[in-house]
Structure 1
Amino acid sequence: MTTHPLHVKGQSAKEFYDRAGKYCGSYGLTAETGDCDPGYYCPEGQTVATPANYSCPLGYFCVGGKELPEPCASGTYQDEPIQSTCKTCPAGFYCNATFGPVINYATYICPEGFFCPDGTRYPEEFPCPEGTFNNRTGLNSTSECSECVGGMACDVEGLTYPIRPCSAGYFCRQSADSTTPSLGSLADQCPAGSYCPVETAEPIGCPEGSYSSAMALQMESQCINCTGGLTAVFGQCLPGFYCPVGSKVSTEIICTAGAYCPIGTENPVPCPAGKYSDVGGLSMESQCSLCTEGYYCETTGMTNVTGPCKEGYYCPNGSSVETQIICPAAMHCPTGSATPQECPAGMFVDYDGAAACSVCPEGYYCVPELSIEGNSASAKNICPMGFFCPNGTGHDWQPCPAGTYGLSQGLKKAEDLDSMYRRTIL
């Protein structure tokens, strides 16, 4: 049989084929049949809306009616073929398309010193702010950056560890954003009655028999010896109490719940995020209680937990956000989870952040002893030869009926036997 090129009336011989992005579905046309379907692209000369050789590849999207696929931009990825849109890069990862579109976002985990919310385009886009640091990967919000530790200052963005000590004459309890901070009770000039050498976390009280009415002392020798007939400070406030200006005794006010009061405290120091205290009179941060597992303590100065951990996440002791650690693939985390939980037999989950398990799909069996935390591929296992596995199969694989035997894996139901099994000749 003789074939003929597709011809558009009135065009020259070199213009017999359709325009790019279009297709011509039959002979004798006077115009293109239509646009190429979403998920496909159409160079010149296509005869169907879904040309098999021009399906949209991984890392690209095809809106339809285009000559070429379009690469996914930074902040997005695409791990499936034949797609018309790109997926947003998930929190905890970045998708940098500078050197080519991203297919597998999981290889681009957010680096130390930074956090990556949804749609992050490159690893250094969101540094942990001054006053914080981060020595973990995969953070998804600024609230997950760690507060700067005692005696140290985090005075630049994107730190993986605190690197500069607090200056002499200052104290840095936590969250210091400068070596000479001015953050009140958290970090500030050394208060009167105390001295602060380099890298001081808590002001050191002048020893008995001495005092200081000046601030920002750097060494003990700057404290002044007391003389008869006192005209200056009598002594420091005792641990577990605080003494505002005008206090007359060393036990002026007992330290409030949700805070602690070291020696010489003028105002209570709040327990840090991730901790709480429902009693008063504490004298050290270590006496604040770690937030109960399965719950989080969001801010400083908590007297009780903020609430339960969000579904899809789990919260060990000391958690400060409801999304402390995302639930790994092959596990599920209902509201208030302290640790990831296995799915029961016949159930599975193959992605991160699951709150509940789904029914095991037909053609597979799902058992907890084969599931590996964080390994999505281990969540379900293909049905072995000689058996078929309907929805919800755990350990109870269904054997081939008498008179049949299996030729392949992944059979779903007994009705598949005619096409998937060979009958035994009896």
Structure 2
Amino acid sequence: MSGVIRLPSSSEMSYPPEVLVWTGAKSQAAEPYNMPPGLLLNGQRLQLPALPRRRESVSVTPVAQATSALLKPGVWRRGAEPAQPGVGFHVTAETACPVGHFCPVGLGMALPCPVGTFSDRMFLSMSSECLPCPPGHFCAASGLSAPSGPCAPGYFCLSGVSSPTPTGRSGHGGPCPQGHFCPRGTSLPQPCRAGSYGSLLGQVSCFPCPAGYYCPENITSYSGYPCPAGFYCPRGTKHAAQFPCPRGYYNPDPLTHSLDSCLPCPPGHYCGQENLTKPSGPCDAGWYCVSAAWNARPFDLDNYTSTNCLCPATATGGKCPAGSYCPEGSPEPIPCTPGSFCATSGLPTPTGPCQAGYFCIGGSESPAPVDEVTGGPCPPGSYCPVASHKPTPCPVGTFSSLPEQTTSSTCRSCPSGFYCKEAGLQAPSGWCPAGYYCDSSTGPVQDFSLYPCPRGYYCPVGTTKAMYHSCPVGTYGPRKGLTSITECQLCPAGKFCSLAGISAPTGKVQTALGLNMVSKGLEAYPDRTSSLQESVLQGTGAKQDLPASTPQMGLGASAAPQDTTVLKALQSQPRAHLELGLQKEPEAQRDAGSALLDNSVLGASCQPGRHLAT
């Protein structure tokens, strides 16, 4: 009778579990179970370690000879329940080699796949058929049907690794090297990507490249890769030329880290390409570059209209407008210089000088502006030669009543009888006031107060000469600045005033002679008889007799010379031309005193220029 022995499980013995041996034929004799067991495999006895004693006794039937065939590869036989109690076991079926194991040919037992391998298939017959633990995983035990898990972060695991944190000594993995990173389950170290670096062993991820530097792939330090001038490098920059300064900007410094580090092209210059370390050059003549210009002839402010506003703020420049000019390198339009005009746009210099008779304040588009903003025609009281930036006032002592005058010679001198106290007059300041004279024969009068009427004379309004109005014969002017003939004083009693224009009486006279002369005067001017008589009497006192030797005064009847006429009618003031623009001249002055004395006052006696007959 055929039979089998079912050996204890792995919890009861130290050798591989459930090794079944097929005995084949009926045994000749029975052996106690507690004896060293002997199993027959293909007719040969297999020596195994002694089994521990069990409570029950199991008998097996030794086999005299084996007659069965070998087990199939990858197959083993499991014992079933005994057919009859106490008789033994018999083979019931063949079973496939389980996953995680292999079953050598004829061994009749399943062996576990070794550490570092696994098997997810059945029917393995050799250990070489167990799969090495795949890269990125580890297989920490034997008999595995799947890897134990992924490789630990910061490590890499090659094929067949048995630990999640390999040391690297076995050549199957190890800590992540510098310049690389190893996330969980890494099979091969991954080089740090561009824009990062790895300076440490066992890095799970690489450090981002700091601002101001760039980091190529697989580097352990960023210090050797400073950002070059003309570029900027924010955090994580991958290569040197990744972030160039744009057109219109430049960057002279290395190690910069943001777009703000790029400087706008300075006013008057342009930056025509990327990654510049200095401006490309000055703006072209006839154009202006405000800031950040990327063209030598910018055009985004071609509609520029006012030098007071460069709008919008992002504008870079434009063509110089009319009324201004732009030399090379201009930061903004320059208003046409005072005294010149700029007729067209795009001018590098002004077109030419302002026209004579006009003035150009600045920014003028015309040689003869009329807008009063950039210029205008020369006003009265001034003159404007060529290239005038403002009207030139007529000099002090002159005036001009006409516009658009071109030279100072067109300014007229202040006429006699008038004064011109300041520059730029359109007409004389006024008539010469009473008590003063304004004589322009020696030069125009600016300050009439310097010319008071002299003693012996009086000066009504508009007097042209110092000695034009003399106090008449029989009177005198003791002080300066007399304004009318009424201020001339009568010759006092006892004295005579034989000349016109004197500041004091001519001399003393005898009483009889004086009274005789006074009486003659009173006959001519009965309205002043009492005043004259009183004046004489108060001045002389009692009548005096003339000495015997005093010659008789022969009063000649001949007239005085023409230039010594005692009184004559006041001449009318000379009238100025209408174009002077003066106020109406004062009426010819003649007061009651002007008729005080005339050629008939004294008849033929005591007339100026004549002597008393002996």
Instruction: Choose between structure 1 and 2 for higher RCO, CA contacts under 8 A separated by at least 6 residues.
Output: 1
Q: State TM-score, norm by structure 2.
A: 0.35
Q: State TM-score, norm by structure 1.
A: 0.50
Q: Which has more radius of gyration?
A: 2
